[in-house]
Amino acid sequence: MLVVGCYRRISIHQTVKESRAMSKVVLITGASSGMGREAALQLAAQGHRVYAGARRLDRMADLEEHGITPVELDVSKSEDNERAVKQVIDSEGRVDVLINNAGFGLYGPVEDVSLEDARYQFEVNLFGLAHLTQLVLPHMREQGGGRIVNISSMGGRVFTPFGAWYHATKHALEGWSDCLRFETKPFNIDVVLIEPGGVRTEFAEVMGTQIIGSSPDSAYKSQLEPFQRMMQDPRMATRGTDAKVLAEVYVEAATADKPRRRYVKGYLARPALMVRKWLGDGVYEAMMRRALR
């Protein structure tokens, strides 16, 4: 009986140890709402140790109930990036997955959008995540592997009207990620891209408001007005894919033994990519103009 009892205690101890070894340490940005928040919840539910970053801690306070550690993090600020990575390393001794989810869409005519605003778009959508990636890579190399999951968009391969600066950041992220994947492969570090389509978040509503605010007297008014109406149409929100569905893709990209290089998911993503790829730019652009009419 004593031998059996001892065996059972060892088995339980080994099970806990193995379970902890299988769980991953994940740092995810832009986790206060939408896909980032849902992904953080799903990863924590699977037993992973999740650090959820966003600019406003108050919007993530309830995540602690799910075993998630909120981290104040504005990816456009170098000191925030450095502090966040240090917090994860000091607490866990490693970082297995970085999910670069933070981002926003700046929409408006190229002529009207200030270069200052355009630079900030790049700071958040590209340079901020690039700095955060640079900070975690040495730790991933030292520990023998890791994974970078970059949230791009179907807009990284197609375009929508008045989104020049937003699409520029996502097209840049696509090429940047492909190069990074090649560089980090020898170190057992995977680089994965996720290209969401339309999702049920406040993105479209905010986009429409930003256009209204930035170009009230624009020379492009006749083109802007139908685009704004389309973005603010309540039906747009219902057509999008639920954020929880996209979060499932985040989880797969972060935890699969052999992840894909790219994941495409969400409303209109695959059809839009296929039209441009197989029918060409002329047909794709004609469809965009027809949609605005």
Q: Which domains does the chain have, with CATH numbers?
A: 24-292 (3.40.50.720)
* CA separation, residue 127 to residues 124, 204, 290 (Å): 6, 24, 35
pTM over 0.95: no
In sequence order, the 6+-apart residues with CB closer than 8 A to the CB of 161 are: 223, 227, 288, 292
Which residue in the list 107, 166, 263, 284 is annotated as catalytic? 166
What local confidence, expressed as pLDDT, does residue 64 receive?
96
CA nearest to 269, candidates 249, 255, 290, 253? 249
Tell me how far apart the alpha carbons of residues 127 and 173 are, in angstroms, rounded to a whole number: 10
Whole-number pLDDT of residue 11: 45
49 with 24: CB under 8 angstroms?
yes
Helix (H, G, I), strand (E, B) or coil at 257: coil
Average pLDDT over residues 250-275: 95
User: What pLDDT, on the 0 to 100 scale, is given for residue 16?
Assistant: 37
Whole-number pLDDT of residue 200: 79
**Catalytic residue flag (residue 263):** no
Please report the pLDDT score of residue 233 as a whole number.
75
Mean pLDDT of 228-254: 86
What integer pLDDT is reported at residue 239 of this predicted model? 76
Query: What average pLDDT does the segment 61-73 reach?
Result: 97
Q: Give the residue-averaged pLDDT of 177-192.
A: 98
